[in-house]
Amino acid sequence: MLRELQIKNLAIIENLHVEFHGGMNILTGETGAGKSIIIDAVNLILGGRASTDLIRAGAEEASVEAVFDLSDRPELVSELAERGIDCDGELLVRRVVSRGGKNRVFIGGGLATTAILAELARLLINIYGQHESQTLLKTDRHLHLLDGFAGCLPLRSTFATLFDEYSRTRAELQELEEGEREAARRIDILAFQSEEIAAAKLSENEEEELAEERRLLAHGEKLRLLTGQAYDTLYGNDAAVLGGVRRAISSVTEAGSVDASLAPVLETLEGAYAQLEDASLTLRDYGARIETDPARLEQLDDRIDQLNRLKRKYGETVADVIRYHRDIEAELAQLAGREVAKGELVEKLDRLRAEMARQGAVLTKARQAGAGELKKGMERELGELAMKHSLFDTSFETFSEPKAAGYERAEFLFSPNPGEPPKPLAKIASGGELSRLMLALKQLHPESDVPTLIFDEVDTGIGGATSELVGKKLKKVASSQQVLAITHLPQVAAFADWHLKVEKSVVNGRTLTMVIPLSGDDKVAEVARMLGGARVTEKTLEHARELIQEAAT
């Protein structure tokens, strides 16, 4: 609820601090005392339009500061936290308007924008009266008000959950369909690449093996010549190395028969002979295996060219190309699954659409029944508020496609004059009529998620016994929400839990507005003034006491 309001340099208010309480807060005072300025100040806190004309003469800026007590509204504290506004049960909101046109907004001690403030205000206060920011003027709120009265909010919540899932599924399907052309193009490209790589039948070590084989084939004649020469030198002619080694072995063998110390030398020579003989035979066999096959060489060159082409397209090495092939095979499998996914989404969408149609029909029927009951109740309540011949109704516009709130929008219709058909309420209702309409609606459905309601001159055009009835109805609303009501009727003021008198005075040649809390005899005196005008008699005072006592019972 709104607990405190601090106003500085706003119109005729220099510095004003006002405290409010739970229940019924009544503001009274002479016409022109400044009651409307207090509403202007609240409108600034609600993010309303700021005009430099509101700044007090001689001041450079005006400011309004409000303290809200949310200690008994944990759900509202949680919602504020979700919006990044932390408070420990007490929320401070401040608005500063300067002559230069610059506005500053502070919420919970941090800078904010007027747009954020206006959004926040919707959670804190509703004003009903001569102001543009009224709930009943916002036709998009009519359906919510009707649903609250008709008990449709749970049905609406269920439908909204269905609609959210339907919207997400439809977006997924649309994204899938929009990507079909690109997916088909991608499949063509990847399929060609996959076939090209698969046809090559690659192996990771093939490149090195091909290079080695090609090198041998390219130098085959040279290798055969060189190994043949080496074989001839070692073994293949009379002057071969092995022949000399054999003669040396024969000589050392004969010498060793005389001197046994030559045995190691003989052993070395025999070992060398055996190794040289093995090398010779190996060179002979190697030379015999050497091929000079131009056709095979051409095949190798073609294969190496093929690998190089693949590497230029798909990777630096054959191993990279093989890995790329595995990747595109996986992507192809994923793309092929799009049709399956699309079918599943279409099926889900059809199922959700059918369920929404079923739930929407239930919601529509409940709303239509609720609209009928609301019409009866509103016309009865308005009759008690001196609007006996008023007509109230609800029109529905049906959508071909569902929205989050269902298959229809609702708009309240109103006719204050006999013989005139109901027309859109937001276009024809005056401020006083709007206040009484909302008061009537609150009698029928007092629950609200907004902790503070402000009724600005809800009693305009009302007198007699109806005045007391207005007071009782406001009191009933105040049993569940904080009510701030500006009134000129003593019968309404008598119901105040907290009575504030707005008074204007002249100090040092400047007009000032003050707000004075009243209780006891002061409250009686103010109600008596409202009853009798400037001349208050003992009889008027007694009448005032009776009104206050009756209101308290």
pLDDT in tens, 240-276: 888 888 888 888 888 888 888 888 988 988 898 889 8
pLDDT in tens, 159-207: 999 999 999 999 888 877 766 677 778 878 888 888 888 888 888 888 7
Answer yes or no: are the C-beta atoms of 55 and 2 closer than 8 Å: no
Domain range list for the chain: 1-129+457-518, 184-336
Answer yes or no: are the C-beta atoms of 517 and 17 closer than 8 Å: no
Answer yes or no: are the C-beta atoms of 393 and 400 closer than 8 Å: no
Residue range 1-129+457-518, CATH number: 3.40.50.300
Is residue 377 packed enough to be buried (19+ CB in 10 Å), middle (13-18) or exposed (0-12)?
Answer: middle
Q: How far apart are CA 228 and CA 526, in angstroms?
A: 135
For residue 133, the model assigns a pLDDT of 43
Nearest by Cα to 503 from 28, 5, 56, 42: 28
Nearest by Cα to 26 from 17, 16, 38: 38
Q: Is the dihedral of CA 463, 464, 466, 470 positive or negative?
A: positive
First to last CA, the chain: 25
Q: How far apart are CA 439 and CA 473, in angstroms?
A: 7
Q: In angstroms, what CA-CA distances link 277 with 225, 241, 248, 290, 512? A: 19, 10, 15, 20, 129
Instruction: Using 70 as the pLDDT threshold, list the residues of the chain that sit under it.
Output: 129-134, 178-180, 213, 216-220, 238, 291-293, 297, 337, 447-449, 461, 464, 534
> SS3 sequence, 293-330?
CHHHHHHHHHHHHHHHHHHHHHCCCHHHHHHHHHHHHH
Q: What is the pTM of this model?
A: 0.61
For residue 132, the model assigns a pLDDT of 42
For residue 469, the model assigns a pLDDT of 86
Between strands 498-507 and 423-424, the pairing is unpaired
Which runs of consecutive H residues, i.e. helices, occur in 508-537?
520-532
Answer yes or no: are the C-beta atoms of 452 and 73 closer than 8 Å: no
